[in-house]
Amino acid sequence: MTLLEMMVVVAIIAFIAALSYPGVARGMERIRLRVAADDVAAFLSQAMSRVDRTESPIELRFVKAKATIEMAGPDMPLRTLRLPDGVALSEVYPVPEDGPQAEPSVLLLPGGAFPSLRVELSTLNAGQRSVRIDPVTGVPVIDFNHPPAAVVP
């Protein structure tokens, strides 16, 4: 095998790698988005079970600028869920009557029904995922093909 043949093989491998990179990068974003949606669903579930267990209110704050969700209550330290890099909090529904807020918050009260809450996560290239609390069962559900943004389930 000559040096020229080896260089041709390396060039072919580099060309194939360059062609496949965008697909691999988009796949990694999809994985990050799926993991973030799973983490948000688990965090919301943890908040709701803590309300039931301790019978004290908990406030959930959605900090869009930092891509974090904070959970605070009277008898607990602040807990924070940081979303993976590249995943953003697009919107939190329902939107208050006075319009979208930079840091929307939701108060979970013991003994009451859980709110009809929906959190939309997005990435630059991989699209969106929606995590909502089913108000009937109180279970977080991840929607991969969610309804249009104007409709609140």
Backbone φ, ψ for residue 114 (5° rounding): -75, 145
Dist CA 71 CA 73 (whole Å): 7
Mean pLDDT, the chain, as a whole number? 85
Task: Give the residue, 142 or 26, on which the prediction is more confident.
Answer: 142
Query: What is the spatial distance between Cα 58 and Cα 69, in angstroms, rounded to a whole number?
Result: 13
Percentage helix, strand, coil, to 5, in the chain? 35, 30, 35
How confident is residue 151, by pLDDT bands cut at 50, 70 and 90? very low
* 38: three-class secondary structure by DSSP: helix
* Lookup result for tokens 């990694």: 28
Give the pTM: 0.78
What is the rounded distance in angstroms from the CA atom of residue 55 to the CA atom of residue 37? 27
List, for residues 77-119, the tens digit of each pLDDT value: 899 999 998 899 888 888 777 777 778 888 888 887 777 889 9
All residues at 6 or more sequence positions from 118 whose CB lies less than 8 Å from its CB, including other chains: 92, 93, 94, 130, 131, 132, 133, 146, 152, 153
